[in-house]
A and B are shown apart, each in its own frame.
Chain A
Amino acid sequence: MESSQSILLIEDDVIDILAVKRALNAIQAPNPLFFVNNGEEALDFLRNENNSRPGLILLDLNMPRMNGLEFLEIVKHDRFLKIIPVVVLTTSQEQQDKMQSFSLNVAGYMIKPVNDQEFMQTLEIIHDYWSMSEVPTGLQYYQ
């Protein structure tokens, strides 16, 4: 992921949004951060041609209207959108949620730490990894 590519945070909890913002600020991540409050809004964002495709999606599972798993179900069957790496960021430690997420090809599954310091470290690790990893750019899709 290049530093100009954005990160899309899909999260309904105001405080968790704040936590991610603070963490990315603290580690001085250069990527612009966008956030939406549920899966529906995320799809609107991703399908809006005015928005460039994010380099990384951070996804909460438990959200109103369209939850994280429902969102994954659609995105991972969309030939344009499925190449975007999605890292789940949730409080759910349920085996079932992990199973479903990974069978929908998520790139990672992180439990939101309670502790602020650990939250920052988690975000740092995610960001470092995806800054290191190459991701496809441009508008081509894989069939």
Chain B
Amino acid sequence: MDTRFVKVLLVDDDEDDYIVTRDLLEDAQISDFELDWVSNYDLGVETIAKKEHQVYLLDYRLGQYTGLDILEKAVKMGCKEPFILLTGLGDHDIDQTAMKMGAADYLVKGQIDTPLLERSILHAIERKQAEAKQALLMEELKSANQELQDFAYIVSHDLKAPLRGISSLADWLNMDYIDQIDAQGQEMLQLIKQRSQRMNSLIDGILQYSRIGRLKEQQTEVDLNQIVAEVIDVLAIADNMKITIVNPLPTIQCQKTRIYQLFQNLLSNAVKYIDKPQGEINISCEKLVNCWRFEIADNGSGIEEKHFDKIFQLFQTLTPTDNAESTGVGLSLVKKIVEMHGGKIWLTSQLGLGTNFYFEIPQQSHNNPIIIENYRKKMI
């Protein structure tokens, strides 16, 4: 939008204020301002609805109404243009309320000069434009992301039907024609069966992975000691495996089922790749400045450093296998969960000795955006 010529509407019950404002704007250096004036709430709302102005100046006192009433009404009407509130000296609470309600700025009457007014107006317009642009980009991004997730979901869902068919047919051939198929043929049928089971696990993996993005869970206070205890309980670990919680784990703000999945995958992975007669897994944590760092250390087979990136990619496993349980989804799931909480994950490992996974979860990773927004506005 061109800001060299700007149409401004002033809603003010005092004609003297109109004259002052008009004179101030006439002296403006950068832009040409055209000031329209209405003197009460009803006319204000009516004029705003016509959307002929690029910015609105609202007097706080408007008879039985206030400028905030207009602001509220205009926002409800879907008005996208910025508002600047004109208040009296020391109306601090009103200023704050105005900002919270979405006003672009507030100016104290009697302390306004031309540069201040001009700058305030131009900033307000520019900021609104930037916000609108950002909102549009966000919207595009969101819909592209949504499409991708839906795509993954639909495709994998549709893939399952033919797969089930193949698997059933292999079963039935085996059942009904067993005496007509020789050993080699039966082995082939068995392979069809195995492959379709594996593909089924892979598809389940995609579904699980895409579901994480599709369904956002409410963040709650979660006691990680309890979560880890549950995970260990469910994993039903063999007697030669020892899982130790080295120091008490914290209670953190997070998505509970996701954090459960995170520990479940890391711990079951650790257990799976232990090749020693006595397995040892240690879970510990450390409080850093603004996050918690967790460590899960095992004495398993270890991972070569060149594979560190690969193991977090979807469907990458380091062991070639027809094993339906090892799909290469687990660690990519873990990475996605950590990143969804605003954290990061990495590892160190020594071949033959073991692997240490580290991840960090920021504390209060999602500050109340309204507070930040207001703070930012106030700084400008």
Contacts and interface: CB of A to CB of B under 8 A. Distances in A.
Contacts of A91: 157, 160-161, 164
Contacts, number: 31
Interface stretch (B29-37, B167-175, B248-256, B266-274): B167-175
Contacts of B161: 13, 62, 91
Contact of A116 (B160, B171, B197): B171
Contacts of A115: 167
B352 interface: no
Contact of A19 (B168, B175, B197): B168
A40 B133 CA distance: 48
User: How big is the B interface, by class?
Assistant: 10 to 19
A116 B157 contact: no
B160 to A, nearest CB: 6
Contacts of B194: none
Interface in B133-173: 157, 160-161, 163-165, 167-169, 171-172
B39 interface: no
Nearest to A116: B171
Most A-side CB within 10 Å, residue of B157, B164, B172: B164
B261 interface: no
A121 interface: no
Contacts of B171: 116
Interface string B160-200: 11011101110110010000000000000000000001001
A112 interface: yes
A100 B176 CA distance: 39
A13 B162 CA distance: 9
B157 A13 contact: no
A122 interface: no
Contact of A22 (B157, B163, B167, B172): B172
User: How big is the A interface, by class?
Assistant: 10 to 19
Interface string B118-144: 000000000000000000000000000
Contacts of B169: 15
A26 B197 CA distance: 23
Contact of B172 (A13, A92, A116): A116
B172 A114 contact: no
Nearest to B197: A114
A114 B164 contact: yes
Contacts of B160: 91
A72 to B, nearest CB: 20
Contacts of B167: 114-116
A92 B163 CA distance: 15
Given A91-B157, A91-B160, A92-B157, A116 B168 contact: yes
Given A114-B167, A116-B171, 8 more contacts: A13-B165, A15-B169, A16-B164, A22-B172, A91-B164, A112-B164, A114-B164, A116-B167
Interface of B: 157, 160-161, 163-165, 167-169, 171-172, 175, 197, 200
27 contacts: A13-B165, A15-B164, A15-B165, A15-B168, A16-B164, A16-B165, A18-B168, A18-B172, A19-B168, A22-B172, A62-B161, A91-B157, A91-B160, A91-B161, A91-B164, A112-B164, A114-B163, A114-B164, A114-B167, A114-B197, A114-B200, A115-B167, A116-B167, A116-B168, A116-B171, A116-B172, A119-B168
